[in-house]
Structure 1
Amino acid sequence: MYRSILVPVDISETELTQKVIPHVEYLARLSNAKVKFFHTLPISSAIINAFSFGYDEFKDQATVGAEKWLKKLIHDIDLPKENLSYALAFGNPRDEILTLADELQPDLIIVGSRRPNISTHLLGSNAAGIVRQAKMSVLVIR
Structure 2
Amino acid sequence: MHVFNRLLVATDCSDRAERAEARAALLMQEHKCDDAELLTVRERGEPEILARIMNSSIESATALATENAGQALAARAELLRESYGVQLNCQVRFGRPAPEIVARADELQADLVVVGAHGGNFFSDVLLGNTADKLAHLCKAPLLVVKNEPSQAYQRILVPVDFSDDSRRAAEAALAIAPQAQITFLHALEVFFEGKMHYANVSRDIIDEYQMKAFEEAWEQLNRFISALDPGERRMQRTITFGLPGPVVRDHAKATRPDLIVLGKHGRSRLADMILGSVTRDAIDQTDSDVLVIPS
TM-score (norm 1): 0.81
Change (3 A) 1:27 1:97: same
What's 1:42 paired with? 190
* Seq. identity, %: 27
What's 2:283 paired with? 130
CA offsets 1:53-97 (integer angstroms, 9 cap, x no match): 244211111112211111112223343446011101111211111
Q: Does 1:26 align with 2:176?
A: yes
CA offsets 1:112-139 (integer angstroms, 9 cap, x no match): 1124965456995322222221211011
What's 1:9 paired with? 161
Structure whose residues are more often helix by fraction: 1
Moved segments of 4+, more than 6 Å: 49-52
Change (3 A) 1:87 1:98: same
Task: Please tell me the root mean square deviation across aligned C-alpha atoms, in Å.
Answer: 2.8
Q: Report if aligned partners of 1:20, 1:112 keep a CA contact under 8 Å in 2.
A: yes
* In structure 2, C-alpha distance between the alignment counterparts of 1:87 and 1:80, rounded to whole Å: 19
Q: Which runs of 5+ in 1 are unaligned?
A: none
One-letter amino acid of the structure 2 residue matched with residue 40 of structure 1: A
Determine which of 246, 251, 255 is the counterpart of 1:94: 246
What's 1:53 paired with? 204
What's 1:105 paired with? 257
The CA deviation at 1:28 is 3.1
Change (3 A) 1:48 1:86: farther
* In structure 2, C-alpha distance between the alignment counterparts of 1:98 and 1:73, rounded to whole Å: 22
Residue 88 of structure 1 aligns to a residue whose secondary structure is strand
What's 1:72 paired with? 224
* In structure 1, C-alpha distance between the alignment counterparts of 2:197 and 2:174, rounded to whole Å: 33
Higher mean C-alpha deviation, range 20-29 or range 32-41: 20-29
Change (3 A) 1:73 1:28: farther
* In structure 2, C-alpha distance between the alignment counterparts of 1:122 and 1:36, rounded to whole Å: 21
What's 2:132 paired with? none
* In structure 1, C-alpha distance between the alignment counterparts of 2:294 and 2:159, rounded to whole Å: 11
Q: Report if aligned partners of 1:74, 1:85 keep a CA contact under 8 Å in 2.
A: no
* In structure 1, C-alpha distance between the alignment counterparts of 2:176 and 2:258, rounded to whole Å: 17
Q: Report if aligned partners of 2:160, 2:262 keep a CA contact under 8 Å in 1.
A: yes
One-letter amino acid of the structure 2 residue matched with residue 28 of structure 1: A
Residue 252 of structure 2 aligns to a residue whose secondary structure is helix
Larger RCO of the pair (alpha carbons < 8 Å, separation 6+): 1
TM-score (norm 2): 0.41
* In structure 2, C-alpha distance between the alignment counterparts of 1:137 and 1:52, rounded to whole Å: 43
Task: State which structure, 1 or 2, has the greater radius of gyration over its C-alpha atoms.
Answer: 2
Aligned residues: 138
The CA deviation at 1:101 is 0.7
